[in-house]
Amino acid sequence: DSTAPTVTTLDPEDGETGVSLTANLVITFSENVSAVSGKNIYIKRNSDDATVETIAADASKVTVSGDTVTINP
């Protein structure tokens, strides 16, 4: 498969306000994905696109199950 997966849903949704700082971030993709050592996930602030946190894709706070990635901050 040479087509990269796309994000189909985000929870919380992009731009959602009032989200707890301890809420899980759940990303659903168009196909199954896997964590890759040496790659990162960047959490960005919506207002100015600044990087708030960088998380290794294979870190213990990241769970990958089929087409779903859950980040437990």
pLDDT tens-digit series, residues 42-64: 988 878 999 999 999 999 999 99
Of residues 1 and 23, the one with the higher pLDDT is: 23
Sign of CA dihedral 56, 37, 70, 61: negative
3-state secondary structure of 29: strand
Q: Is the pLDDT of residue 34 over 80?
A: yes
pLDDT value for 22: 92
- Indicate the DSSP class of residue 39: -
